[in-house]
Structure 1
Amino acid sequence: MKKEFFISKREEIMKNIEDGSIVLLFAGRAPYKSADETYSFTPNRNFYYLTGIDRENMMLMMHKRAGKVFQTLFIEKNDPQMARWLGEKMSEEEAKEVSGIEDVRYIEDFQGAFGLLFSRFKYDNLYLDLERAEWDIPMTKSQEFAKVAKEKYPFINIKNIYHDICEMRTIKSEEEIENIREAIKITEEGIYKLMENMKPGMMEYEIEAYFDFVLTSHGVKDKAFKTIAASGKNAAILHYSDNNCQTKDGELMQFDLGAQYKYYNGDISRAIPLNGKFTERQKEIYNVVLKTNKEITAMTKPGITFEQLNIRAKELLAEGCVELGLIKDASELSKYYFHSIGHQLGMDTHDVGSHSELKPGMVLTNEPGLYIPEEGIGIRIEDDLLVTEDGCEVLTKNMIREIEEIEKYMAENNKYLK
């Protein structure tokens, strides 16, 4: 994306920051794996959202004094010897061009610059991204810094800027939506490649490999999440991702997968018969899920809440389960449906921000499902929706979902089933 996007986001976040405040964000580092190996690096999404920088061990410092905002980006200094092993570090010029920040310094200068602010001026607040998903996980760089900063400057008020940035991220710009569209386009191409090459008897991971090939051929370095390629009863496990079982004739393959493009994600689920034909029972269950998907799409518009969508989805699925003979009363639905109707989608697959009232510019998933382990069937149909001024746009409209369309495509394009 253009640097103007990141400039505007920094301006927006600093408007609501009071005078006498410092905002500090960290890019993060690749976690240690084993021996001299690390896991692949991915930038802290809030740092990236404000800078466009996807290199590790960098810092963004912004501070506000007398209504004026100052911005500094701290980067790693290039080491010619290490560059022969790992490549060149980002230059000052490149960092300025990507981020739109003119004051670029080296990371070793940070402590002096940070201390100077307190020795010369009156700063009362330090804003950090203090995201913490669970109690029992390692401390983040921001959380560690908060502890040290409080020890050195006991008068400082530590504040959490995480939720402020997250709320900004809920409404996508045109540039962000285009990135999501591209991620979805690649995801759709990958699913069609799976459909063209899958057949009974293959291992789940063999089928998954066709999706991986499409992503790699588009230069995709990371998936939106671990691919779910679940056959038969495995599809009744919501987040099954082992993908190591042999498929059987007559089974459905439940796919839940997504490509990541420029750190924006696609997320699509489809249930496909391995032999190209749905059984009558599979059709009955599939149509209940599809009916729910369609009605939730029709309901999606500004002013509707996630709660309203969830309530209606449960009503429809419960009605369907009664007709299917699975349950006798709606109160039993949780036996076969136990998740929400969807989530926001963006730089994180389960994207951040409050799940309340829908607004134009939000992107969310619509993913009803039924999971029936005793019948070896799990079906989820997931589409990605962009909330518009008066309704929604189905971003995944090019990914077929009708039973007749799926069977026709398999018959015409799967070389093993002809």
Structure 2
Amino acid sequence: MNKDVFIKNRERLSKELKDNSILVMFSGVAPKKSADEEYPFTPNRNFYYLTGINEEHVILLMVKQNDIVEEFLFIRRPNPVMEKWVGKTISDEKAKECSGVNNIKYTDEFERLIHEFISIKNLCIVYMDLEKDAFSSMPNNVQSFAYKMKENYVQVNIKNIYNDIEKLRAIKSKEEVMELRNAIDITKDGIEALMKNCKPGMKEYEIEAYFDFVLKTKGIKDFSFKTIAATGKNATVLHYVANDGELKDEDLILFDLGAQLNYYNADISRTFPVSGKFTERQKQIYNIVLKAELEVIKIIKPGVPFPELNKLAKRILADGLKEINIIDKDEDLSKYYFHGVSHHLGLDTHDVGSREGLLEPGMVITVEPGLYIEEEKIGIRIEDDILVTENGAEVLSKDIIKTVEEIEKFMAI
């Protein structure tokens, strides 16, 4: 995206900063995998939202003093020896071009400048992104820096900026929506390749490879998440990722997948018959899920409480299962539907944003009802990506086919 997007994001955030304060944000580092092997680097999403920089060991510093904001980016000094092994690090010019920050310095100058602002200019409010990964007990570089600040500068008041950035990220700009549209369009091409090449006897990972291939040919470097390719009974496991089962003629196959474009994520689920033709029973259950999805989408508009979406989905799914005698009462639905119908979507697949508040224009959310009937080896989920507009909703993934008739017609070609 153009640097103006990131400049605007920083301007909006700067209004939330108290006067005589500083903000420090880290891009992050690639975690170790094993020995000298690392996982691929991916930037802290809040850092990326403010800078557009996707390189590790970069620091953003914003200083607000007398209502004037100064911005600095700290990058690594060029290292000719390391460049022979891993390539060049980001240059001053590239950092300016990506972020719109004009004051570029090196990371070995960071502590001196921080000391100057805190000890000499007496800026004692330090904002940091202190949202910690709930799945790790290891301190990250942000937390380590916070501890160091408290040790070296007892006068410092550290504040968490995470919630302020979260509110900004929940409302997407037109540029962000365009990134999501493009990611969804590429995902559509990948899904169509799956439908065209699906055959009994294949392994789940073999059919998955067609999606991977399409994305690679479109220049996509990463997926929104690990693709779920689940056939038969495997599809009744919500986050099944083994993808090593065999496709059988009488089974459905459920895909939950997405392309990631410039760190913006598509998140689509489609379920279709391996044979290209639904059985009557499969069609019956599929249409219950489809009805729930379509009805939930209909009520999306500004002012609707987020929890109302799941309440409606549960009511329609329960009514459908009672009609076909799978359950007797509404509370039995939890055996066959056990997740929420929606989440925010953006720089993270399960993006920031409250799931308890009201829908607002500019939010992008998913709608993804499902039914998982283990005893019948049927798992069905249908998921689309939705933009909340001023007056209602736009289905960003509307061009990805999903009715029984559309699927059977497409797979018959």
Partner amino acid, structure 1, of 2:371? L
TM alignment of 1:252-271, pairs within 5 A: 252-271=252-271
Counterpart contact for 1:172–1:361, Cα < 8 Å? yes
- TM-superposition CA deviations, 1:11-54 (whole Å, max 9, x none): 11111211121100000011011122100000000001000100
* SS of corresponding position for 1:270: strand
Counterpart amino acid of residue 374 in structure 1:
E
> For 1:229 and 1:411, how far apart are their aligned partners in 2?
21
Match of 2:235 in 1: 235
Partner of 1:182: 182
Aligned equivalent of 2:297: 297
The alpha carbon displacement at 1:136 in A equals: 4.7
Task: Give the residue type in structure 2 aligned to 1:376.
Answer: K
CA distance in 2, matches of 1:148, 1:326: 59
Partner of 2:373: 372
* Aligned-partner Cα distance in 1 for 2:136–2:177: 35
The Cα shift of 1:119 comes to: 2.3
Report deviation, 1:291: 0.4
SS at match of 1:18: coil
CA distance in 1: counterparts of 2:158 and 2:403, whole angstroms: 53
Moved more, 210-219 or 154-163: 154-163
Partner Cα distance (1:139, 1:226) in 2: 26
Task: Tell me the distance in 1 between the aligned counterparts of 2:138 and 2:194.
Answer: 38
- Matched AA of 2:146: A
Q: How far apart are the structure 2 equivalents of 1:173 and 1:344?
A: 14
Partner of 1:404: 405
Structure 1 segment 17-416 matched on structure 2, within 5 A: 17-134=17-134, 136-355=136-355, 356-412=357-413
Deviations 1:191-218, CA, capped at 9 Å, x for gaps: 0001110111100000000000011111
Q: Aligned partner of 2:275: which letter?
A: N
Equivalent pair of 1:231/1:251 in contact (CA under 8 Å): yes
Counterpart CA distance in 1 for 2:183 and 2:29 is: 25
Given that 1:183 and 1:266 are in contact with CA atoms closer than 8 Å, whether structure 2 keeps it comes out as: yes
Residues 110-144 of structure 1: CA distance to partner in whole angstroms, max 9, x if unpaired? 11111111221122211110112427532221111
The one-letter code matched in structure 1 to 2:404 is I
Question: Which stretch has the larger CA shift, 198-207 or 143-152?
Answer: 143-152
Equivalent residue number for residue 415 of structure 1? none
SS in 2 for 1:57: coil
Please give the alpha-carbon distance, in whole angstroms, between the structure 1 residues aligned to 2:384 and 2:36: 41
Alpha-carbon shift at residue 364 of structure 1 (Å): 0.5
Tell me the amino acid that sits aligned with residue 91 of structure 2.
Answer: S
Q: 1:305 to 1:12 in 2, by over 3 A?
A: same
Structure 1 CA distance, aligned partners of 2:52 and 2:362? 20
TM-aligned CA distance change 1:390 to 1:212, over 3 Å: same
CA-atom RMSD in angstroms: 0.9
For residues 171 and 2 of structure 1, the distance between their equivalents in structure 2, rounded to whole angstroms, comes to 18
User: Given that residues 254 and 270 in structure 1 are in contact (C-alpha distance below 8 angstroms), is that contact kept between their aligned partners in structure 2?
Assistant: yes
Task: Give the SS at the match of 1:304.
Answer: coil
Give the secondary structure class of the aligned counterpart of 2:74: strand
**Any idea what SS the aligned residue of 2:222 has?**
coil
TM-score by length of 1: 0.97
SS of equivalent to 1:386: strand
**Cα distance in 1, alignment partners of residues 333 and 152 from structure 2:** 55
| Counterpart-to-counterpart distance in 1, 2:27 and 2:254 | 36
**Which amino acid is 1:375 matched to?**
E
Structure 2 residue ranges without an equivalent (≥5): none
Find the aligned partners of 2:81 and 2:15 in 1 and give their Cα distance: 43
What is the TM-score when the length of structure 2 is the normalising length? 0.98
Secondary structure in 2 aligned to 1:23?
A: strand
Instruction: For 1:291, give the aligned amino acid.
Output: K
Name the SS of the counterpart of 2:229 in structure 1: strand
CA distance in 1, matches of 2:36, 2:136: 26
Question: What is the rounded CA distance, in whole Å, between the counterparts of 1:91 and 1:134 in structure 2?
Answer: 34
Distance 1:136 1:30 in 2: 15
Identity %: 54
Q: How many Å separate the matches in 2 of 1:11 and 1:275?
A: 54
**For the residues of structure 2 that align with 1:63 and 1:2, how far apart are their CA atoms?**
23
User: 1:163 touches 1:353 (CA, 8 Å); kept in 2?
Assistant: no
2:4 is aligned to: 4
SS in 1 for 2:346: coil
Give the whole-Å Cα distance in 2 for the aligned partners of 1:140 and 1:80: 28
Partner secondary structure for residue 178 of structure 1: helix
1: CA distance, partners of 2:264 / 2:166:
15
CA–CA separation in structure 1 for the residues paired with 2:289 and 2:138: 39
Q: Give the conservation status (yes or no) of the 8 Å contact 2:371–2:380.
A: yes
Deviation at 1:64, TM superposition (A): 1.0
Answer with 319-328 or 218-227: which moved more.
319-328
Whole-Å Cα distance in 1 between the matches of residues 285 and 193 of structure 2? 25
Q: Deviations over 1:271-319 (max 9, x none)?
A: 1100001011101100100000010111111111111111111111111
